Structure 1
Amino acid sequence: MNTLNNYIKVGITILFIGLLAACKRDAESTLNLSADVDVLSFKVGNTIGKVDQAKGTILVMVPEGTDLSAVAPTIELPSNAKVSPASGIAQNFSFSSTTPITYRVFNGNLFNTYQVTVKEIKAEITAFRIGEKAGIIDQKNKSIKIYLPLGTDLKNLSPVIEFTAGASITPNQSGPVDLSSPIKYSLAYMGQTFQYTVTALLGTEPKQILMIYNGETSVPHFDGLGVSTVDSPYPNPKTTGINATPFCASFVRDNKTGEGWHGGALWNANKVTINPAEYGSFSMMVLKDVAGDVQLEIQSDGEQNKDWLRANYSKDHVGEWQELVFQIPAGRKAIINNILVMPHEHPNGQPVVFPTQRMYWDELKALPKE
């Protein structure tokens, strides 16, 4: 009887081993570890992107003026592969220069990840100097003004120009130019042309608007006031209105603990130096979901000589950017070193009349006196 039981046990063991082997062979037959998961091409319109398989990146340089908020790329893949997001599905690439969009290619039991950036082709003149005088460059309107001393011979000038690496410039810098009337400089770059108009003026240069914060080229750090952090740069949630720049400053305002002074501060390592004898006001873009006063508190270093400037964010602009102007008191003489931004000001201790929400500000400027 024991012998029979032993035979049965041995038989069951052999059967079990056979089933395991069959399952393993079946799993091995369906496991595909040799599938191709490389993007073959990535196109935006007629522009073919540069695919770096080693780094897992894709860069597409599109013509200036392309709407990056709704780009539907055409993606070529190996046989049986799929990609997410899918080919032909529009994505917002407006912020992909700093935050690339992730694409994943799936095939068999494998996948591959790519970080995709779509950027406009752009070449810029970044500096224009004649002797010790520097030109005032307006990148938006592609214009340059340079103020030179009275008596300067405008017909025989030799400017020094800095511009985007890889571009070529006309006229070149090998000889003198005649600036007695405005002239045009052209940058050729990646098959496109970018043209600037340069104007020379005789006399003293007027005080210019001082850009303090714009989210892109001027991005000092805001310390949080009553909040853990101020997010900057933060994606602009409303680029279709009067403030079309890609980034701004933002923080979440808590309706339970949101006293009137909550916001962001430029001080200490990020303090400014603004003379009220030269500048008469500030302007700033604001966006929020509730109407009400916005306040700038200005101080001298060490939190001295304080003034509180207010402007009203109106009901008509709720959910949209509104440019507010804050007048510096006419009698102020103390230098302004600290600027405290309070997007929704109300007396401390009073009920807060809005739900917890994210607030935004941008384009903080000091405006010269006229």
Structure 2
Amino acid sequence: MKTLKNTAGLSFFLLFVGLLTSCKQDATDSLDMNADVHLLSFHVDNVAGTVDNEKGTITVMVPAGTNLSAIAPTIELPPNATVKPAAGEPRDFSYSSTSPVVYRVYNGNVYTDYRVTIREIKAEITAFRIGDRTGIINQAESTILVYVPEGTDVTQLRPMIDYTSGAEILPALGSPVDFTTPVTYTLSYLGQTFNYTVTVVLGDEPKQPLLIFNGENVSPRWGDLGTTVQNQTNNPKTDGINPSPLCVSILRNATTGEGWHGGALWNDNKVNINPAAYNRFSIMVLKDVAGDVQIEIQSDGEANKDWLRARYAEDHLGEWQELIFEVPAERTAIINNILVMPHEHPNGQPVPFQTQRMYWDELKALPKE
């Protein structure tokens, strides 16, 4: 009887192990870990993107002027695969150069992510020199202005030009050019053309505004003053007077935001501006609350302080406004530190302060007129 009982127990145990093994085998057989999740192609209109399966990136170069805010791509997938966001679903790629849009391809029990960047085809002249004179380039207007010494023969000039790698330029580099009248330079790049009008003027170049910050190619880091400064912020309104993609922002809280809450260019990012040559500052500001904006200027070591204020007007709330700040006429001390904040008075003085986010961009020192 005892032997029979032990035999029955052993049989039950073996049956249980067999069932468990069978269940595990069924679960394993149902998993498909070898499905193809490599995206085959990614098109915007008729433009094919460059797909890098190893890096998980897709780059699409679209014609200049393409509306990047509502791109509906065509996507080719391997059999049985799906993708999110779905093919043909409009997505905003306006900021994909700095924040790529992620697409995830699913197939069976596996998936892979692709970071998608869509850029407009763009070729630029980045430097234009005649002898020791450097041209003033206005990228927004596609113009270049060069001042050369009085008496220069402008009919046979050979400018030195830096421009987008891979582009072709006409007139060709090294060829003599007659600048008696403005000359059009044309860049050809990826099937697109970009024209610059170059004007040569006899005489001394007037002092130009000094660009201190623009968020892109001139972007010293703003330090925190009582709140966190977001140095790489996407421009919330690019269809106004400030179309550049990046700016700076802070959120100042009405409860905890007494005194100085803003951003500062100082220490490793300090400036060196002589008020005898530059007596004003301009800066682009965007807020949802009207009121004074303040700039504090200091010499090194936080000495020789002046507080400059300009009004952010109520009739342009939510839009970029260019504010001008006047440096006191009596100031002679060099300006090394620049502090920016959305409002200059402590909470409740003279009116209650409202919680608000301020964006700023395009800080310049303006020469004396």
**Corresponding residue pairs, total:** 369
Does the 8 Å CA contact 2:289/2:356 hold for their aligned counterparts?
A: no
Q: Trace 1:82-97 onto structure 2 (pairs within 5 A).
A: 82-97=82-97
How far 1:53 sits from its partner (Å)? 1.1
Q: Trace 1:68-83 onto structure 2 (pairs within 5 A).
A: 68-83=68-83
SS at match of 1:96: coil
State the match for 2:280 in structure 1: 281
State the match for 1:133 in structure 2: 133
State the match for 2:305 in structure 1: 306
Does the 8 Å CA contact 2:254/2:347 hold for their aligned counterparts?
A: no
Q: Trace 1:1-370 onto structure 2 (pairs within 5 A).
A: 1-227=1-227, 229-347=228-346, 350=349, 353-354=352-353, 356-370=355-369
Which stretch of structure 1 is more off in the superposition, 342-351 or 182-191?
Answer: 342-351
Amino acid in the other structure paired with 2:234: P
Query: Could you list the per-position Cα deviations for residues 105-141 of structure 1 after superposition, in whole angstroms to 9, with x for gaps in the alignment?
Result: 1100111111111111111111111111000011111
Query: Could you list the per-position Cα deviations for residues 265-307 of structure 1 after superposition, in whole angstroms to 9, with x for gaps in the alignment?
Result: 1122212122222223211111222221100111222222221
How far 1:349 sits from its partner (Å)? 7.0
How far 1:308 sits from its partner (Å)? 1.0
Which stretch of structure 1 is more off in the superposition, 127-136 or 169-178?
Answer: 169-178
Q: Which ranges in structure 1 are unaligned for 5 or more consecutive residues?
A: none
Provide the rounded CA distance (Å) in 2 between the counterparts of 1:367 and 1:112: 51
Provide the rounded CA distance (Å) in 2 between the counterparts of 1:147 and 1:58: 44
Change (3 A) 1:41 1:352: farther
Does the 8 Å CA contact 1:281/1:326 hold for their aligned counterparts?
A: yes
Identity %: 63
How far 1:233 sits from its partner (Å)? 1.9
Query: Could you list the per-position Cα deviations for residues 197-252 of structure 1 after superposition, in whole angstroms to 9, with x for gaps in the alignment?
Result: 1000001101112211111111011111112x321121112223322211111122
Which stretch of structure 1 is more off in the superposition, 250-259 or 56-65?
Answer: 250-259
Provide the rounded CA distance (Å) in 2 between the counterparts of 1:7 and 1:349: 88
Does the 8 Å CA contact 2:347/2:353 hold for their aligned counterparts?
A: no
SS at match of 1:20: helix
Change (3 A) 1:59 1:352: farther
How far 1:341 sits from its partner (Å)? 0.5
Change (3 A) 1:9 1:93: same
Provide the rounded CA distance (Å) in 1 between the counterparts of 2:41 and 2:106: 15
SS at match of 1:9: helix
Does the 8 Å CA contact 1:286/1:343 hold for their aligned counterparts?
A: no
Provide the rounded CA distance (Å) in 1 between the counterparts of 2:225 and 2:293: 15
- TM-score with structure 2 setting the length: 0.95
Which stretch of structure 1 is more off in the superposition, 91-100 or 290-299?
Answer: 91-100
Provide the rounded CA distance (Å) in 1 between the counterparts of 2:354 and 2:108: 48
Provide the rounded CA distance (Å) in 2 between the counterparts of 1:291 and 1:174: 54
Does the 8 Å CA contact 1:127/1:162 hold for their aligned counterparts?
A: yes
How far 1:368 sits from its partner (Å)? 2.1
Provide the rounded CA distance (Å) in 2 between the counterparts of 1:174 and 1:359: 48
Provide the rounded CA distance (Å) in 2 between the counterparts of 1:23 and 1:351: 75
Amino acid in the other structure paired with 1:278: A
Provide the rounded CA distance (Å) in 1 between the counterparts of 2:279 and 2:356: 32
Provide the rounded CA distance (Å) in 2 between the counterparts of 1:198 and 1:89: 43
Query: Could you list the per-position Cα deviations for residues 151-203 of structure 1 after superposition, in whole angstroms to 9, with x for gaps in the alignment?
Result: 00000111111111111111111321111111111111111111111000001
Provide the rounded CA distance (Å) in 2 between the counterparts of 1:174 and 1:223: 45
Does the 8 Å CA contact 1:232/1:250 hold for their aligned counterparts?
A: yes
Provide the rounded CA distance (Å) in 1 between the counterparts of 2:264 and 2:127: 31
- TM-score with structure 1 setting the length: 0.95
Provide the rounded CA distance (Å) in 1 between the counterparts of 2:344 and 2:237: 22
SS at match of 2:344: coil
Does the 8 Å CA contact 2:346/2:353 hold for their aligned counterparts?
A: no
Amino acid in the other structure paired with 2:272: T
How far 1:362 sits from its partner (Å)? 1.0
Q: Which ranges in structure 2 are unaligned for 5 or more consecutive residues?
A: none
Provide the rounded CA distance (Å) in 1 between the counterparts of 2:151 and 2:94: 47
Which stretch of structure 1 is more off in the superposition, 130-139 or 21-30?
Answer: 21-30
Provide the rounded CA distance (Å) in 2 between the counterparts of 1:2 and 1:182: 112
Amino acid in the other structure paired with 2:189: Y
